[in-house]
Structures are given as structure tokens and as C-alpha cells.
């Protein structure tokens, strides 16, 4: 193995674009790893961890671009490093290049704009967001590594001006029918949603779409907004905005459990809302006190979507039934051929919220699971690279994405983990998630399908049968096409569900049946 790098001074590129380019480079012949970063201190630390150190890299600034590559031979390494301009060209169909260089020029071109999308290194993000707020623009702040003090200052300033800061580290929004970041194609309609999680918003909006309703706006807040250090500032601002928005007839709030102070700020405001509100705080143990029938609590994203649709249509979509004949037949089919040693679930997730919700579903079924991102009551995985008993792993966590594209864009690490799990004779089922939409992989099912087939063959060699269960988050209008992705997975013998909660429930019930069969024997 040989390594090399190229550093380009004062050449900034968006992080999503860089992840996609790094994926394309990684797929080239003889390339073992490709890292494409701006020269922030955090990124330089990641480069050092994967073996790239030099005085030049140490001196790089957040405005400098670094391409670091590991290859099997010099010829393949040179082919990449000597053609960096080719790799940095925008992908075909990615839109036309713009000569606009700053906010003033952009507003001169589009003076009626009311939203600025900011994705610059964290060291500069707060200042750019402040400039946008000063010009009367709401802010979608994709950048991360923004100090919490700066986040609070920005959000307090925005709230005083009747504006919203979505982020930092905001992955998804849909504003007036236009998706921002990682979003799906869903119809417009009467339901507004506020979420601290990007994949949680994606799941909710696609469930609403497939139920026949639509989304007025989906407002992301960033993952820290409901921590006590922030107190839910953007969540409150978003609730005010949707409350005042005439086309919005019902509101859903989706998040992991808030901090106690943030929750104390939020509940009184929810109770004052004249519109129906559905609240889904995944993993929250205690019920929230409420004083009117317009305020409902959901345990899962499925339930939240169903209740929101009911609020605007009067009809409650038939809920998922584990006792249906189709479901029972599928359990019987998937456990046929398994041997008595097969008893564990292994979840390999691209979406952090889906990993979190699956842990909740299993826990409520009496199954504790290890995880690199455990919910309260579960155990932390000692080594995130090695599973133990029931294990649910968030492959989008920092320990897996350092120096690599996010698994929503690149399935390489998930492919490797899938094969490794299949070689454990005690594994009964592998649980996967597939997330469609803008900026995700153009063919997530196709990327993992060969590995699924190989994993099933590995289990057969061990004298058993491996059940692979998947959820697919998306719509038929997404670039990848929901039906095409489902069909590709079913061709490989995957049991496919159209929500992460249902897929997790299926796994829990199947393992319970396996235990019953073993006890009877």
C-alpha cells in the first residue's frame, strides 16, 4: 500500500459535494481509501488517525482543500492525485455553475429570497449566518462544529427578529415544497413537522405522503436545539411559524428526548397551540402532562404520521398488525431453515434515528441490545467494530464516518459489516435501512444487494438460514424510485417494510418465535 496527498490553498467546497467526490474516487481501481476534507483542526486530526501527517497538512487552514489517498500501487495513486481538477468538476446534471461569490451578490440576483443555506467550515459558519440574519433571511445551517455559545446567540437574535435558524448540523428541511439537504420528494399538504433529526423528518414526511396527505413545511432545528443549553429556541420559533401558517392544519414534533429545561419551555407552548399537535419524543419514558385533546403523544414515527393524518382527514390509517395472516406467514417463512443456535439480531443502520427507534422497539419487546449509540437502559458496545448478542449499530456515527463518506452516500463499510455479521453462526437476522431522496446514494439497494446475497450464502455454509430484513424510507417520486428499490431487495430475498419501526417489530417478533421453538424442543 502507498499513500499520497494534494493540498489546494484557499479552495472551499461544500462537505456534501466532497463526500460524493470521495466516494467516486474510492470506487476507482486500486484505490483503498480516499479522504477529501477542508483543513479544519478536527479534519486534520482525522487525517492523522488514518495515517496522513506532514508539516504542510498541519499548517492547513479551514479554507484549504486536502485530498489524501491510499492505493495499491503508484500508478493508481498518480491517476487520482494528478487529475484532481477532473474529480472536482460538478457531477453531470448537478446544475449550472454560478459566478456569485457572496451574499450581497446573491440578494442582488434574487432580492425576494427569505432563506440562506450555509455550508462553510464551522469556524466561519456563525459569522455567515449572522450576516444572513442581519439581511432578514432565515438560515439553514448545514455546517457543524459551531460552538454552542454561538448557536445560542444566533438563535436568540433570530427569534427576536421573527426568523429561524435551522441548525447547526441541520440535515433536512422542506420549505414551501422545496427540499433542502437530505430530503424526499413529497406532495404539499396540510401537515407541518418540526424535527431535530434529519432521518426522522424524512421518515415522517414519506409516511404522510404514502398515506395520501402532504407536507406544508418540514423545519429542522439541529441536533442540539432541545438540549438544556439551548432550551428549544428554534423549536419554539418553528412552532410559532407553523401556528401562524394558514395552510398548515396540524403540526408534528419529532425528536429524541429533550433536556428537562427544554421540555419545560416547550410543553406550555404546545398546550397553547390552537392546531392539533402530535409529539413524538423517541425513547421518552414518562408521559407528558397535557390539558387538551388537540395534543397527542406518539411512541413511534409511524404512529406520529398516522395521528397527524387523522388530525387533518378524520381517518386513522389502519395500524401495523403483527397478527395479520401475511405477517405471520412471513415470520414462518423467514425462520424456516434456521438452526437452534441462531438467536441474535444485528442492525446495521445508515440513519441514526432509525437505530435509536429500533432500540426502543426491541426494548419494549423485552430485548436489550448493545449499541455504539445506546438509548437509556441499553449497554454501550465495548468495540463498535465487533457486535455482541443483540447489537444495533449507527454506521453514521463519527467513529465510522471519520475520513469516509456518510453511509447514506456510500455503502462500503456497511457491505463489510454485513458479511462479517453473516459469519457469526448465532446471528438469526440482519436489520438494514435504506434511505432515498436528494443527496443520498443513487442506488442504495443496488449497492448492498451483492453483499446481501453473499451474506445469505455464508449463513448457508454454516448450516443455517440468514433472514435479512430492511426498511426503505422514500417515495416513488424520489430519484431512486421506491418501487424499484423495494423490488431490487426482494429479488435478493429480503423481507422489506416501508417503515423502520415495522421492520424492527418484525425482527423482535421473529426472534421471540425462534426462542419459543427452541424452548419447545
**CA nearest 191: which of 252, 136, 103?**
252
pLDDT given for residue 120 in this prediction: 82
pLDDT given for residue 148 in this prediction: 95
Q: Do both 340 and 299 map to the same domain?
A: no
Instruction: Answer yes or no: is 499 within a domain.
Output: yes
Q: Do both 257 and 224 map to the same domain?
A: yes
- Give the pLDDT mean for 478-506: 96
pLDDT given for residue 62 in this prediction: 84
Instruction: Give CA–CA dist 334/341, Å, rounded.
Output: 15
Instruction: Answer yes or no: is 16 within a domain.
Output: yes
Whole domain around residue 487: which residue ranges?
A: 325-520
- Give the pLDDT mean for 44-71: 91
The percentage of the chain sitting over the pLDDT mark of 90, rounded to a whole number, equals 72
Q: Do both 137 and 266 map to the same domain?
A: yes
Q: Do both 53 and 172 map to the same domain?
A: no
Q: Give, in order, the Cα–Cα distances in Å from 274 to each of 20, 195, 221, 240, 252.
A: 44, 20, 22, 11, 13
Per residue, the 3-state secondary structure of 252-311, as one string, reads EEEECCCCHHHHHHHHHHHHHCCCCEEEEECCCCCCCCCCCCCEEECCCHHHHHHHHHHH
Write phi, then psi, for 87 (nearest 5 degrees).
Answer: -70, -30
Per residue, the 3-state secondary structure of 233-250, as one string, reads HHHHHHHHHHHHCCCCCE
Instruction: Answer with the one of 88, 118, 134 that is the final residue of a domain.
Output: 88
Instruction: Answer yes or no: is 320 within a domain.
Output: no
Candidate from 9-23, 320-334, 462-476 with smallest mean pLDDT: 320-334
Q: In 3-state terms, what secondary structure has residue 190?
A: strand
Q: Do both 202 and 286 map to the same domain?
A: yes
Write phi, then psi, for 258 (nearest 5 degrees).
Answer: -70, 165
Candidate from 214-218, 369-373, 439-443, 517-521 with smallest mean pLDDT: 517-521
Q: Do both 34 and 108 map to the same domain?
A: no
Instruction: Answer yes or no: is 426 within a domain.
Output: yes
Instruction: Answer yes or no: is 12 within a domain.
Output: yes
Q: Do both 115 and 64 map to the same domain?
A: no
Confidence of residue 93 (pLDDT cuts 50, 70, 90): very low
**Opening angle at CA 143, ends 267 and 262, nearest 5:** 15
Residue 197: pLDDT over 90? no
Q: Which residues contact 181 (CB under 8 A, 6 or more apart)?
A: 16, 140, 142, 170, 171, 172, 173, 198, 220, 438, 439
pLDDT given for residue 92 in this prediction: 44
Q: Do both 426 and 300 map to the same domain?
A: no
The percentage of the chain sitting over the pLDDT mark of 70, rounded to a whole number, equals 93
Instruction: Give CA–CA dist 326/66, Å, rounded.
Output: 52
Instruction: Answer yes or no: is 377 within a domain.
Output: yes
Residue 520: pLDDT over 50? no
Instruction: Answer with the one of 27, 55, 88 that is the final residue of a domain.
Output: 88
Instruction: Give CA–CA dist 115/241, Å, rounded.
Output: 14
Candidate from 96-110, 299-313, 477-491 with smallest mean pLDDT: 96-110
pLDDT given for residue 518 in this prediction: 53
**Regarding predicted confidence, which is higher, 96 or 254?**
254
Contact 78, 69 (CB under 8 A): no
Q: Do both 384 and 356 map to the same domain?
A: yes
Instruction: Give CA–CA dist 468/475, Å, rounded.
Output: 22
Q: What is the pLDDT of residues 431-444, one digit of tens each?
A: 999 999 998 999 99
pLDDT given for residue 519 in this prediction: 53
Q: Do both 71 and 124 map to the same domain?
A: no
pLDDT given for residue 100 in this prediction: 74
Q: Do both 262 and 348 map to the same domain?
A: no
**CA nearest 395: which of 377, 411, 379, 378?**
411
> What's the mean per-residue pLDDT of the chain?
91
Q: What is the pLDDT of residues 375-400, one digit of tens each?
A: 989 999 999 999 999 999 999 998 88
Q: What is the tally of structural domains in the chain?
A: 3
Q: Do both 45 and 108 map to the same domain?
A: no
Instruction: Give CA–CA dist 166/211, Å, rounded.
Output: 27
Q: What is the CATH number of the domain that holds 219?
A: 3.40.50.261
Instruction: Answer yes or no: is 461 within a domain.
Output: yes
Residue 514: pLDDT over 80? no
Instruction: Answer yes or no: is 93 within a domain.
Output: no
Q: What is the CATH number of the domain that holds 10?
A: 3.30.70
Strand partners, 193: 218, 252
Instruction: Answer with the one of 256, 291, 313 that is the final residue of a domain.
Output: 313
- Give the pLDDT mean for 480-508: 96
- Give the pLDDT mean for 161-180: 95
Amino acid at each position: 500500500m502507498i499513500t499520497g496527498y494534494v493540498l489546494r490553498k484557499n479552495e472551499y467546497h461544500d462537505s456534501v459535494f466532497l463526500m460524493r467526490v470521495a466516494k467516486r474516487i474510492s470506487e476507482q481501481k486500486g484505490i483503498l481509501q480516499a479522504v477529501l476534507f477542508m483543513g479544519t483542526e478536527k479534519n486534520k486530526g482525522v487525517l492523522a488517525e488514518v495515517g496522513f501527517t506532514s508539516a504542510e497538512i498541519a499548517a492547513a487552514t479551514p479554507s484549504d482543500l486536502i485530498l489524501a489517498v491510499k492505493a495499491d500501487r503508484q500508478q493508481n495513486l498518480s491517476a487520482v492525485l494528478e487529475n484532481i481538477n477532473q474529480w472536482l468538476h460538478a457531477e453531470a446534471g448537478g446544475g449550472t455553475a454560478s459566478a456569485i461569490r457572496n451574499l450581497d451578490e446573491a440578494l442582488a440576483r434574487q432580492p425576494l429570497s427569505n432563506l440562506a443555506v450555509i455550508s462553510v467550515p464551522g469556524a466561519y459558519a456563525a459569522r455567515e449566518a449572522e450576516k444572513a440574519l442581519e439581511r432578514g433571511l432565515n438560515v439553514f445551517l448545514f455546517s457543524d462544529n459551531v460552538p454552542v455559545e454561538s448557536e445560542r446567540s444566533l438563535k436568540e437574535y433570530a427569534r427576536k427578529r421573527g426568523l429561524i435558524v435551522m441548525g447547526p448540523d441541520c440535515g433536512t428541511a422542506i420549505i414551501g415544497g422545496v427540499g433542502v439537504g437530505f430530503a424526499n420528494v413529497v406532495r404539499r399538504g396540510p401537515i407541518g413537522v418540526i424535527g431535530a433529526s434529519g432521518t426522522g423528518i424524512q421518515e415522517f414526511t414519506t409516511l404522510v405522503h404514502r398515506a395520501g396527505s402532504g407536507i406544508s413545511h418540514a423545519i429542522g432545528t439541529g441536533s442540539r436545539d432541545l438540549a438544556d443549553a439551548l432550551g428549544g429556541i428554534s423549536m419554539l420559533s418553528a412552532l410559532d411559524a407553523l401556528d401562524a401558517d394558514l395552510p398548515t392544519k396540524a403540526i408534528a414534533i419529532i425528536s429524541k428526548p429533550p433536556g428537562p429545561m427544554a421540555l419545560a419551555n416547550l410543553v406550555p407552548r404546545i398546550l397553547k397551540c390552537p392546531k392539533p399537535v402530535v409529539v413524538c419524543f423517541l425513547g421518552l419514558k414518562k408521559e407528558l402532562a397535557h390539558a387538551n385533546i388537540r395534543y397527542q403523544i406518539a411512541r413511534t414515527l409511524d404512529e406520529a404520521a398516522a395521528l397527524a393524518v387523522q388530525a387533518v382527514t378524520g381517518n386513522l390509517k389502519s395500524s401495523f398488525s403483527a397478527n395479520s395472516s401475511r405477517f405471520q406467514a412471513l415470520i414462518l417463512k423467514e425462520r424456516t431453515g434456521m438452526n437452534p443456535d441462531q438467536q441474535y439480531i444485528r442492525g446495521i443502520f445508515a440513519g441514526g434515528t432509525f437505530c435509536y427507534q429500533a432500540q426502543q422497539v426491541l426494548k419494549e419487546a423485552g430485548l436489550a441490545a448493545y449499541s455504539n449509540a445506546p438509548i437509556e437502559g441499553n449497554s454501550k458496545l465495548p468495540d463498535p467494530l465487533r457486535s455482541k448478542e443483540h447489537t444495533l449499530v449507527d454506521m453514521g456515527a463519527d467513529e465510522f464516518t471519520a475520513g469516509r463518506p456518510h453511509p447514506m452516500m456510500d455503502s462500503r463499510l456497511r457491505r463489510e459489516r454485513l458479511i462479517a455479521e453473516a459469519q457469526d453462526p448465532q446471528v438469526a437476522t440482519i436489520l438494514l435501512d435504506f434511505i432515498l431522496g436528494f443527496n443520498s446514494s443513487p442506488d442504495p439497494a443496488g449497492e448492498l444487494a451483492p453483499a446481501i446475497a453473499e451474506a445469505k450464502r455464508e449463513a448457508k455454509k454454516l448450516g443455517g438460514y440468514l433472514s435479512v430484513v430492511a426498511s426503505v424510507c422514500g417515495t416513488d417520486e424520489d430519484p431512486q424510485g421506491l418501487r424499484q428499490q423495494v423490488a431490487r431487495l426482494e429479488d435478493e430475498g429480503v423481507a422489506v417494510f416501508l417503515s423502520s419501526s415495522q421492520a424492527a417489530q418484525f425482527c423482535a417478533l421473529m426472534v421471540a418465535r425462534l426462542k419459543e421453538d427452541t424452548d419447545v424442543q
